[in-house]
Structure 1
C-alpha cells in the first residue's frame, strides 16, 4: 500500500498541471518548476533583492532572476554570482501524480552560514553580502565581539598592516553600548565594509619568524625595537616584536615598547600612528589576547616611513617648538614615581585648559612640566589636553577652509588616544605624547580666529521639537553646524537625556557615507564624555557638554551625503524581514 506523505509536507498540485504551467507558486512562497522531466522547488524570493523567481527564466538548468540577472542552479539553489547568495531549495516527492514539497529548506540560515557569508563578503568586497550577514548575526543574538573578530582577523591578514578600516571597526565596536539595535547593525556593517575596502585585492600578509634564541632581556628587546624603528627597519622590528611575544612579554609591556618607539619622534603622521596603535590594543581587548601576534605585527608597517613633525617648518618657525620639548623630555626620568597620583583641583583644571588654549606655547610647556613634576596624575592631565582639543572644535569658525576641520579633528583624536593609553601606563617616555598634543593645540589656534561663539543653552527647543530625532532632521540640510550645536546645547540645558543624544549622534554618523575621520570623532567624543560623566561637579558637566557639542558640530559639517551605505544596510534588514522591495516605485 502507498504510504501517505507526512502532514508537514505541502501539496503543490498535480504533476500534470506543473508540466503544463512550467512553474507553480505554493504556500510559503515556494516556486515549483518542471524542467527536463524533473520537478524542482526553490524559494520564490531572489536572495539578492527579493524579486519573484517565478518571473525569471529557466534555461540549461540555470534559473535567472530578471531584476539583476542573478543566476541559480535550479537543482541545488547554488548561485553562479557570489553577490546574490544561494537560494534555498526544497525536497520534492511525486506520489500518485501529486507533487509534494517539504517546506523545510535543505540549507538553513544558521549562524555558521552567516559567518561564512560574512567572510566571503569581506573577501569579495561585497557590501550587500556583508550587510545581510551582519543583520542575520545580530538578529540571531551573536555577540558583537564575535562579529568584530571576523573582520579584524580578515583585515590583519590581508593588506599592508593596520589601517583606517580596522580602526573604524574597532571604534564602532567600542560605541555599541550607546546604540540601539538598528545603530548596532549600521555600526558593525560600516566598520566591516571599510575593512573590506581597505583589503580589497591585497595579498595575504605572512609573518616573519622571531629570533632563534631565548632569554634576551625585555629591556634589550625594547632598545632593539626602538633602534629598528629609528632607521625605518620594519622587518627587524617585526622580528624583535615576535621574539618578545614568544618570550611571554605581557600585553602591557608590548604596548609600552611599541608606543615608546612611536613617540621617539613628534606626532607621527599627523597623530594617526599613535591613534592606530591605541585602536589595535583596544582590538585585542575586544577579541582576545590570542590575536596579539597578528594584530601587533600589523602596526609595524605604519612606522616604515611616517611624517616626523619635528622636521616640519611650523614646528620650528617662527617659534622653535622643538627645542623646548626636547628640554622637557630630558627631565622625564627625574619626574617622581609615586604609588598614587594627586588629583588636579577643579580650579587648576580650568587654569590648565585656559593655558592650553592660549597663545603662549613656551609657558604652556613649562606649566605641563610643572604639573607632572608635582606628582599630578598624568592621565588626568592628558584628559585636560583632550578637552582643550575638543574646545578647538567647538570654537572652529565655519569660515575656515572646510579641509581645516581635519586639523582640529586630528589633534582631538590623537589627544584622546594618549589619554586612553595613560590610563593604563605611566611610563615616563609615554608622557611625551602629552607634550605633542599640547603643541598641536597651539598650532591649531588660528582656526579659532575668530572663535565661533559657544552656544549657552539659552535657546531651548520647543516641547514638540525636543526630541533627539529633530537633530537628524536638521542634519538633512547642509552646513547646519551652529544651528545643530545650539539645538544640542538647548536640549541639554533643558535636562534632555544625554544617552539619547549619543544614540542620535551615532545615527547621524552611521546613516552617512562617512569618511574615516567622522568615525574617529564620534568614538573619541563618546569615550571622553563617559569619563567626564563619572563626576558630578560643574567643570565636569561643562567638559561633557563640550564633547557633545564638538561631535555635533563636526558631524553636522560633514552631512548630508548620498547615504549609500545606510541604504544598503536598510535593504538587508528589510530582506531579512521578508519585505517586498520590488513592488515599490
Structure 2
C-alpha cells in the first residue's frame, strides 16, 4: 500500500483554504470547504490549469481558465467537454491531514473507451484526442480503437456510410507505415471526421431479415442476388437492405456478399464518380479488421446513398464526342466467355508498360480492345486493374498546376476508384466486377486533358550524395506552391538510397499535421497500398510504378498544404497533457 502524504495540520489548512502537495506523479490540491477536507489532482483535466487557483462554491470546484466545474468530493465534472478530475481519499489523524496517493476514480481502459464514445456522441475533438492518447499509451490495440468509431458511425448516421468512415478505415490501413505519434494522429483524425459527420444525423435502425424459418428451404443465394440487384437498379434502398440482411442471416460468406453488392454497383458506369465502389471496398476492408459480427450494420450502411448516385453512362462526356458506352457494353458481353477460357490457360507475355501507355492515350476504343486482348491472353482481372490504377496515378504525377485547382480531385477520383477495383478483385473476381476495370480505364481517358501540358517528371541529381533528412520535406511543405519542388526532393531522396520507411512516415505526418480534406486521406492510403503491391516485384515497371506512386502522393499533399492545422493542434494538446506538460505558462 502506498504511503500517505502529509498535507499539514488541519488548522493551517483551514487558515490557508487550499494547499498544494507533491503527489506520486502530479501535484495534489487539498481544499478545506464547509469544515470538510478534500483532495484532487491539481491539474484541471480539461487543459491542465492549476486547480488550486480556482474557487469552490456549494461543493463545486470551478477552474478559472475555461470554467470547467467539478464535484470537489467525487471529482466528477458537470461539463461534458471536460473530464473527471482525480480525487484522493483524505484521513485526519490527531488534527493532521493525510492524503492517500491513489485516486478513488482511477482511469481504466473501460473508462477511456467510454470517454471515446462520449466524445463521438458529443462531437468533442479534445475528448476524442485524450481518449485515443490514453488508450494508445495503455497499449490498447489500435484496431480496437478504430472499431469503436466504426460501430458508432455505422449506427448513428441515418444517411449511412460516407467520407468519415472511409477516412477512419483508410487511416487504420496505413497504421503500419506510421510511428506511434502518427498512429495517434491517424486514429484521431479518422474518429473526429466520423463524429463530425454523424453529429445530428440520427440513429439508423435496421429493418431486419426476411422471415425465413427453414434454412434448408431458404431462397438460394442466386435468387437473393437477383432481388438485391433489382432493388439497387430502381434505387430501393429499403428493399435492398432487407435482402442483404437476409443473406447475412443465412450465413453467406463475405466473398458472396461482395459479389452480390458489387455486381449491383457495376451494373452502371463509374457510379457517383467512383465513390460508391470505393466505399464498398472500404466497408469490406474494415470488416477484416473488426470482425464478421459487424456485417449487418457495416454493410447496410452503404445502402442509404444508392437513391441519388450519378451513373456516368448518362453523362454527355461518356457519349460524345466519342461514344464510350456502346463499345463497353459490347465488350462486357464477351467478358464471361473470355474469363472462363482464360482460367484454363497460362498467362501469355503481355507488354504491360505499353498497355499502361495505351490507357493513358487518346484512343479509347483501342484501349478497350487491348484490355480485352490482355484478358484473352490470360492476364488476371486483378492485374489488369493494377495496371489501370498505375495509369490513373500517372495522371496525378503528371498533373500540371496550371489546371484549375479543383481538378486535383478529378484525377484523384479516378485513381481511388481504380485502386478500389484492384483491391476488390483481389478479394473476389467476377465478370461483373471486371467491368469496373474498364470503367476506370475510360475515366483515365477522359482525364487526359488534365495532362496537357504535362508536368515534367523530375530527374535525380547528385545521386552519389547522402540522402536528405526527411525533416527538410516537412519544412518545404510549410509553404504553399511546393508541388514541383517536393517532387524533385523525393526523386533525389529515392535516387540517393533514402529509407522508404522514414519517407512514408514523414509523408504520413505531412498529411496528418494538416486539417486535410477527405481526398487527401484517400490519396495517401491508396498510394501506400498500391506501393505495397508493386514492392513485391522486381522489374523495371515495378520500380517505375513505386516511384510514380510516391511522386503522385507527394505532389498531391504539397498541393493541399499548409492549412490552419487546428485538428493536429488539438491532438498535440492531448499528448502534452498526457505527458504532464504545462499548457498555461508562457513558452
TM tier relative to shorter chain: over 0.9
The offset of 1:108, in angstroms, is 1.1
The offset of 1:374, in angstroms, is 2.2
Q: Distance in 2 between matches of 1:522 and 1:551?
A: 6
**Residues 166-245 of structure 1: pairs in structure 2 closer than 5 A:** 166-213=165-212, 214=215, 215-245=218-248
Q: In the alignment, which of 5, 14, 17 is matched to residue 9 of structure 2?
A: 14
Q: In the alignment, which of 35, 39, 42 is matched to residue 41 of structure 1?
A: 39
The offset of 1:369, in angstroms, is 1.2
8 Å contact from structure 2 (residues 470, 503) kept in 1: yes
Q: Distance in 1 between matches of 2:108 and 2:458?
A: 51
The offset of 1:460, in angstroms, is 5.0
Q: Distance in 1 between matches of 2:573 and 2:183?
A: 15
2:476 paired with 1:474: yes
Are residues 273 and 380 of structure 1, via their aligned partners in 2, closer, same or farther at CA, if it must alter by over 3 Å?
Answer: same
2:423 paired with 1:425: no
Greater mean deviation of Cα atoms: 522-531 or 103-112: 103-112
Structure 2 equivalent of residue 528 of structure 1: 530
Structure 2 equivalent of residue 484 of structure 1: 486
Structure 2 equivalent of residue 395 of structure 1: 398
**Residues 501-516 of structure 1: pairs in structure 2 closer than 5 A:** 501-516=503-518
The offset of 1:561, in angstroms, is 0.3
Q: TM (normalized to structure 2)?
A: 0.97
The offset of 1:344, in angstroms, is 6.5
Are residues 326 and 7 of structure 1, via their aligned partners in 2, closer, same or farther at CA, if it must alter by over 3 Å?
Answer: closer
Q: Distance in 2 between matches of 1:341 and 1:204?
A: 51
2:64 paired with 1:66: yes
The offset of 1:57, in angstroms, is 1.1
**Residues 398-409 of structure 1: pairs in structure 2 closer than 5 A:** 398-409=401-412
Q: In the alignment, which of 386, 390, 406 is matched to residue 389 of structure 2?
A: 386
Gaps of 5+ in 1: 1-5
Q: TM (normalized to structure 1)?
A: 0.97
- 1:3-59: CA deviations, max 9, x gaps? xxx871111001101111110001120001100111110000000110000011111
The offset of 1:94, in angstroms, is 0.8
Q: Distance in 2 between matches of 1:158 and 1:461?
A: 55
The offset of 1:340, in angstroms, is 6.8
Greater mean deviation of Cα atoms: 382-391 or 421-430: 421-430
1:581 partner SS: coil
The offset of 1:520, in angstroms, is 0.2
Greater mean deviation of Cα atoms: 452-461 or 207-216: 452-461
2:268 paired with 1:265: yes
8 Å contact from structure 1 (residues 396, 448) kept in 2: yes
2:277 paired with 1:278: no
2:351 partner SS: helix
Q: In the alignment, which of 358, 364, 368 is matched to residue 361 of structure 1?
A: 364
8 Å contact from structure 1 (residues 459, 486) kept in 2: no
2:461 partner SS: coil
The offset of 1:336, in angstroms, is 3.3
Structure 2 equivalent of residue 165 of structure 1: 164
Q: Distance in 1 between matches of 2:343 and 2:104?
A: 63
Q: Distance in 2 between matches of 1:461 and 1:129?
A: 49
Q: Give the alignment's Cα RMSD to 1 decimal.
A: 1.3
Q: Distance in 1 between matches of 2:6 and 2:219?
A: 74
Structure 2 equivalent of residue 496 of structure 1: 498
Structure 2 equivalent of residue 3 of structure 1: none
8 Å contact from structure 1 (residues 341, 376) kept in 2: no
Q: Distance in 2 between matches of 1:181 and 1:199?
A: 27
- 1:543-574: CA deviations, max 9, x gaps? 00010000000000000001111111111001
8 Å contact from structure 2 (residues 2, 101) kept in 1: no
The offset of 1:537, in angstroms, is 1.5
Q: Distance in 2 between matches of 1:166 and 1:342?
A: 40
Are residues 9 and 340 of structure 1, via their aligned partners in 2, closer, same or farther at CA, if it must alter by over 3 Å?
Answer: farther
1:63 partner SS: strand
- 1:294-317: CA deviations, max 9, x gaps? 100001112121001111111111
8 Å contact from structure 2 (residues 90, 98) kept in 1: yes
Q: Distance in 2 between matches of 1:85 and 1:569?
A: 16
8 Å contact from structure 1 (residues 57, 64) kept in 2: yes
Are residues 244 and 422 of structure 1, via their aligned partners in 2, closer, same or farther at CA, if it must alter by over 3 Å?
Answer: same
Are residues 187 and 461 of structure 1, via their aligned partners in 2, closer, same or farther at CA, if it must alter by over 3 Å?
Answer: farther
1:11 partner SS: strand
Q: Distance in 2 between matches of 1:91 and 1:461?
A: 65
- 1:154-202: CA deviations, max 9, x gaps? 0000112111110000000000001000100000000001010111112
Q: In the alignment, which of 7, 22, 32 is matched to residue 27 of structure 1?
A: 22
The offset of 1:62, in angstroms, is 1.0
